[in-house]
Structure 1
């Protein structure tokens, strides 16, 4: 056994330094990643521009209630002939006309519906932006955690490979001493090849995760902050599920957006039905004409008029009725979409609430597993010095530690994400929550 202890111990996984070690001053923090995403994430920037466009609907809707002023000018060269007493005489002249008209709606249900619809469309755009503001927090946090988790997976895959490399050395030694079999050597070699393939897959997955994060923050991510050693999870002070549900139904931006969509559809019904109703406008006109007709050659006229104009629709080929029925159907669909979204939010809220509560116990269990694995390594190292254990036993113990640390990190990331998702579902996720989450890292 002592001869085994003299065997050269293969290098341990270097990737664990990325997953468990402290980072340098140039490491990208979660807060920095979030701030970069606000500036560079194309999905969020698109939402900002959509909101900017949507805000104009308020102005557009209001314009239907405000007066419109139009102007017109015309100048025509007229070539005419006049017959007098059997003689034809040419009569050429130039006519001019300039008119300014003001029109103010006095009674128009269509204009009122357009105004209310424009307000609802503007508020819909604001709710969508609120949703995207929360979404960018979730995407950058999820991508950030995913990179860190992939680093743990790479480290675990490396120690897995190193374990089988050491196992192969032990098998070769035993075979040469006549204490091992060819079958053991082939079995270990097969597992070593599989471990090498898993290591390559783990590294590829890490690169993919880094590329996903880079696409959100708009640049190379480099090294990231890692979880603090004094990480503590707690569910104390957590509101009841019913309180979270009430907050979600009142403040969830996706629910609010669909509520505005229902209002938009309702006003569309009013707008289309107004096609059956009269419209009353106040009209004021100021105009000047010169040689307007043949009988008014060389005569200038100034016209000033104010009055009320009544427009009464009679028949439009059935279009008004068809558009009204179409609007009613769309309104019913909008209400169904709203209810479906409320059900979805409630389900997601329940899932994340339960996960947040259970994560505390799960994290505590994994922390105990990590401590036990560390004690096993210490005991194995002492056994190696005493000639009872070999380097392969130490590698197996370290593989158990890396597995426990990976599982602990997964539970902690799950806790942080569940907390963020719970607040997002309740519609209360803000940049302050990013700062609080970033405090779990160093």
Structure 2
């Protein structure tokens, strides 16, 4: 894949008008050039750092500190002892104390921090699923944009063919009118059909430009040539063939469902964190340092010092804040559980809708193909019968319009089928780069 990517990049840079971009290569460009996808990756990497933050709340902390303190105190001369100390200069009125120390604190019991650590681990699982969901949506967006360009290209080509055919028909009708062989109304009908076809071609041309811009927004600079759908494209029935099996897959593998389940677990972890605030915290603490005082006095305590001990802190009264936070967390769990139920229902509905749509598209495609072939034969026959005087120009134009309309409907059904297959795969969390590579085999370079 790396070699293919390098070749793709080189061809895009140096010969953009000679290279046909396929679906896989378009997605590779989107992964590098879509800023929204890059933002998702940075968000994921940022969330990975939360584990280190949570671990730090359970590990020892080391603090190095120092201080310089100047102290001045006037002695009471009415006190005999103070006068003696002052006379002998054993207790100066102004002193400067310098101290340096290193302190260590190791949590022994912090239930709130431990529950927070467990929540972060669940959050990391959630971020993994979220990234997979974002990747799947990104892949679906790129595929939809790519196939929408192919759809508009095919529709524009069909409308252009119709416009050219009606233009030639109009020219022939004008020539016959000059010879007095056709009426003015027939010429008017032919001109009306031509103008309608021209308007349709302009409209689809605008839609093509918009589709190209949408694809360019994802992949960067738009490529003029895309690999197109093969003429021998085969339509396969979805596997498994049971609708209930697809519904079961959606409940267990749909990424939004998995995301919802982890969000519920995070909410439950948050409830445990709030409940843990009721418990005390116990830390082991120790320090080592050095103190120096100048000038020296009778009570100077210069030299090294060290201490070790255990500290306990317990918030026995918080004015109801802890209780309110616990109640709020419990309600959030109920809310998240209800949201999960809604997500499961939606996933089941979406997969059933996509499955039935794919099956419908398969039947519709065959009917559209038959209708397209039949209408093309009727159009040719009508033209021949008109030349023999058996059909009117209105009949010919109607048959021709039906033929091109049937072709347009067939093109739309083709791409509807492809997009519904993509959505069906996404509904069970199976739309990935491997599936994209298989779909890429449906394309050919022209």
Q: Normalization by structure 2: what TM-score?
A: 0.83
2:77 paired with 1:96 = no
Distance 1:98 1:377, change over 3 A: same
Pairing of 1:393-404 with structure 2 (within 5 A): 400-404=402-406
Distance 1:155 1:417, change over 3 A: same
CA distance in 2: counterparts of 1:238 and 1:380, whole angstroms: 46
Q: Which residue of 1 is the match for residue 340 of structure 2?
A: 338
Match of 1:290 among 277, 292, 299: 292
CA distance in 1: counterparts of 2:375 and 2:294, whole angstroms: 102
On the 8 A contact 1:213/1:221 being kept in 2, the answer is: no
Cα drift, residue 224 of structure 1: 1.1
On the 8 A contact 2:62/2:102 being kept in 1, the answer is: yes
2:28 paired with 1:35 = yes
2:61 paired with 1:68 = yes
CA distance in 2: counterparts of 1:244 and 1:100, whole angstroms: 63
Cα drift, residue 415 of structure 1: 2.3
Q: CA RMSD in A?
A: 3.3
2:125 paired with 1:132 = no
Distance 1:70 1:246, change over 3 A: farther
CA distance in 2: counterparts of 1:332 and 1:350, whole angstroms: 28
On the 8 A contact 1:106/1:281 being kept in 2, the answer is: yes
On the 8 A contact 1:105/1:282 being kept in 2, the answer is: yes
Q: Which residue of 2 is the match for residue 225 of structure 1?
A: 227
Gaps of 5+ in 1: 1-23
Pairing of 1:378-393 with structure 2 (within 5 A): none
Q: Which residue of 1 is the match for residue 246 of structure 2?
A: 244
Q: Deviation per CA, 1:299-339, whole angstroms, max 9, x where unpaired?
A: 32433333222211122222222222222222222112211
Gaps of 5+ in 2: 1-16
2:257 paired with 1:255 = yes
On the 8 A contact 2:292/2:302 being kept in 1, the answer is: yes
Q: Deviation per CA, 1:216-255, whole angstroms, max 9, x where unpaired?
A: 1111121111111111112164342333233322222222
CA distance in 1: counterparts of 2:306 and 2:241, whole angstroms: 70
Cα drift, residue 417 of structure 1: 2.0
On the 8 A contact 2:68/2:96 being kept in 1, the answer is: yes
Distance 1:276 1:292, change over 3 A: farther
On the 8 A contact 1:108/1:280 being kept in 2, the answer is: yes
Helix, strand or coil at the partner of 2:100:
strand
Helix, strand or coil at the partner of 1:354:
helix
CA distance in 1: counterparts of 2:24 and 2:395, whole angstroms: 41
CA distance in 1: counterparts of 2:154 and 2:392, whole angstroms: 25
Match of 1:322 among 321, 324, 332: 324
Helix, strand or coil at the partner of 2:21:
coil
On the 8 A contact 1:150/1:209 being kept in 2, the answer is: yes
Match of 2:50 among 44, 57, 64: 57
2:48 paired with 1:46 = no
CA distance in 2: counterparts of 1:296 and 1:204, whole angstroms: 96
Distance 1:147 1:393, change over 3 A: farther
On the 8 A contact 1:127/1:253 being kept in 2, the answer is: yes
Q: Which residue of 1 is the match for residue 9 of structure 2?
A: none
Q: Which residue of 1 is the match for residue 5 of structure 2?
A: none
CA distance in 2: counterparts of 1:386 and 1:31, whole angstroms: 53
2:144 paired with 1:161 = no
CA distance in 2: counterparts of 1:323 and 1:222, whole angstroms: 58
CA distance in 1: counterparts of 2:34 and 2:371, whole angstroms: 39
Pairing of 1:187-202 with structure 2 (within 5 A): 188-202=190-204
Helix, strand or coil at the partner of 2:316:
coil
Cα drift, residue 26 of structure 1: 0.8
Q: Normalization by structure 1: what TM-score?
A: 0.83
CA distance in 2: counterparts of 1:150 and 1:122, whole angstroms: 42
CA distance in 2: counterparts of 1:289 and 1:399, whole angstroms: 100
CA distance in 1: counterparts of 2:194 and 2:58, whole angstroms: 77
